[in-house]
Each structure stands twice: as C-alpha cells, then as structure tokens.
C-alpha cells in the first residue's frame, strides 16, 4: 500500500511522497515552498495542475476537512492548539469526527506524551512551547490518521525538547503512520528521515534517503552549512 502524492504549479512540478511507517522530510532554503507544498498536500491551496493521491485514490478535489475524514492529520506551524481549552479537551476536539469511544486513543497519546497526562486539566495556552507542540501532535493523532503532516513541529523549541519531539515522531512512525514533515533544522531532521526532499524555488532539487542526502556534498554545502 502506498500513500503517494504529487503537487504542482505554484510549486513547479514538485513531487513528494511518503509510505506507511516512513518519515519523509521536506527541507530547503527560506521561500522554497516547503510549507506551500505541505498545504497543497492537505488541500489548503488550490492545485492548478497535478494531483494528490492517497491510498491509490485521487483526493485532489477534497476539502481539508474531508481529507481528515479519509485519514490525514495536519499539525499547523502556529496556532495549532485551542489555547483556552484544557489538554484533554484539545484531544477530544481532535477526535471530533469520530463517533466511537475515544478513551483508548487518549490513553495512547498520554502514553506517548506522559507530561500531558499530568497537565490534562490545564488550559493548553498555559503550557510551555514544547508541551504545546506535544498537544498539537497529540490532537492530530486523535483521528488515528494514516498519514500525519507536520509543519515545522520544532519551531521555537529548545534543542533538548527538539530531540525529544523527534524521538516521539519516530515512535509514531513505528506504529505504522506515514509522516510528512517540513523542517528548518534540516540536519537533525534528515537524520531521522527515511526520505528527504530538498526543495528550491518550488521544485525538487534533490530526492533521496535522509542518510544519502546528509552524505551528499552538494546538499551539505548549499543547505546544511558545510
């Protein structure tokens, strides 16, 4: 089974894709269209050409909400939690489209992010930056997505917290979820990536495994600062 995507135009014929249980990372300089590529994947940007495939099905015409129902989860870069609501309520809202019992999923998120269990009754707006990101990821996990899109999950958190977040992301991927992630911290992100996409001006410049990209001297020189 393949979760594959192809987006185009504003992004000039750029192609990205990720498989189940894999982590794919999009890196590139500022203004390369990384976040745009992700938004296109999620349907927040009209495609002029190309299409988005999911489970072998063309979902290009679906609205973001409908894609959530199909099994896509999205964590925006900012404003990604309900600040006035408690951690638990945030998770509940994440599972809004589900009609079945969600307590198991909440437990799973709490297992993944134990700190959230402690703070379950606190408003998310009172948490630290790293904890907020955990809530944001946890919220997106609540729909039990097949693919999870993360827009710069480590923006504005300290290096230690970043490492921990990456560990968690690996854990999520191991449960069989496909993860597509845009990252500023290219080096660290590529280290955990199965696939890496280097975008420049909206087009694919390099596509390879994370390891290979890290080893590629061109990539190192241009995008990883030596």
59, 52 contact by CB (below 8 A): yes
Q: Which of residues 86-115 bind other proteins (CB under 8 A)?
A: 89, 92-94, 96-97
Q: Residue 85 or 212: which CB sits closer to other proteins?
A: 85
Tokens of 6: 């192809």
Among 41, 80, 134, 154, binds other proteins (CB under 8 A): 80
- Kindly state the smallest distance separating residue 71's Cβ from other proteins, in Å: 12
Tokens of 17: 């894709």
- 3-class SS of residue 157: coil
Q: Residue 139 or 195: which CB sits closer to other proteins?
A: 139
74 near other proteins (CB under 8 A): yes
- Kindly state the smallest distance separating residue 84's Cβ from other proteins, in Å: 5
150 near other proteins (CB under 8 A): no
- Kindly state the smallest distance separating residue 171's Cβ from other proteins, in Å: 23
Q: Pick the stretch among 64-72, 103-111, 179-187, 209-217 that binds other proteins (CB under 8 A).
A: 64-72
Tokens of 19: 């498989």
- Between CA 219 and CA 169 the distance in angstroms is 24
142, 68 contact by CB (below 8 A): no
- Kindly state the smallest distance separating residue 65's Cβ from other proteins, in Å: 5
Tokens of 7: 């987006």
Tokens of 141: 């996990």
What is the total count of residues that contact other proteins (CB under 8 A)? 21
Cα→Cα distances 80→52, 133, 222, 226, Å:
24, 8, 31, 33
DSSP assignment of 51-78, as one string?
EEEETTEE-TT--HHHHHHHTEEEE-SS
Among 16, 32, 37, 68, binds other proteins (CB under 8 A): 68
- Kindly state the smallest distance separating residue 218's Cβ from other proteins, in Å: 37
- Between CA 173 and CA 159 the distance in angstroms is 21
145 near other proteins (CB under 8 A): no
What residues line the site for other proteins (CB under 8 A)?
A: 64-65, 68-69, 74, 76, 79-85, 89, 92-94, 96-97, 139, 143
């Amino acid at each position: 089974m393949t979760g594959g995507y192809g987006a185009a135009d504003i992004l000039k014929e750029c192609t990205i894709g990720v498989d189940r249980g894999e982590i794919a990372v999009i890196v590139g300089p500022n203004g390369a269209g990384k976040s745009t590529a992700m938004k296109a994947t999620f349907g927040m940007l009209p495609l002029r050409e190309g299409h988005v495939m999911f489970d072998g099905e063309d979902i290009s015409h679906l609205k973001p909400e409908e894609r959530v129902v199909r099994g896509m989860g999205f964590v925006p870069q900012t404003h990604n939690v309900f600040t006035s609501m408690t951690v638990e309520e945030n998770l509940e809202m994440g599972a809004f489209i589900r009609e079945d019992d969600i307590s198991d999923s909440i437990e799973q998120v709490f297992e993944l992010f134990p700190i959230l269990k402690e703070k379950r009754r606190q408003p998310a707006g009172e948490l630290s930056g790293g904890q907020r990101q955990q809530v944001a990821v946890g919220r997106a996990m609540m729909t039990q997505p097949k693919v999870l899109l993360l827009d710069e999950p480590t923006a504005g958190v300290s290096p230690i917290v970043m490492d921990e977040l990456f560990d968690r992301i690996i854990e999520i991927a191991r449960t069989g979820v496909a993860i597509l992630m845009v990252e500023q911290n290219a080096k660290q992100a590529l280290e955990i990536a199965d696939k890496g996409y280097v975008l420049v001006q909206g087009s694919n410049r390099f596509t390879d495994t994370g390891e290979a990209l890290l080893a590629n001297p061109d990539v190192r020189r241009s995008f990883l600062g030596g």
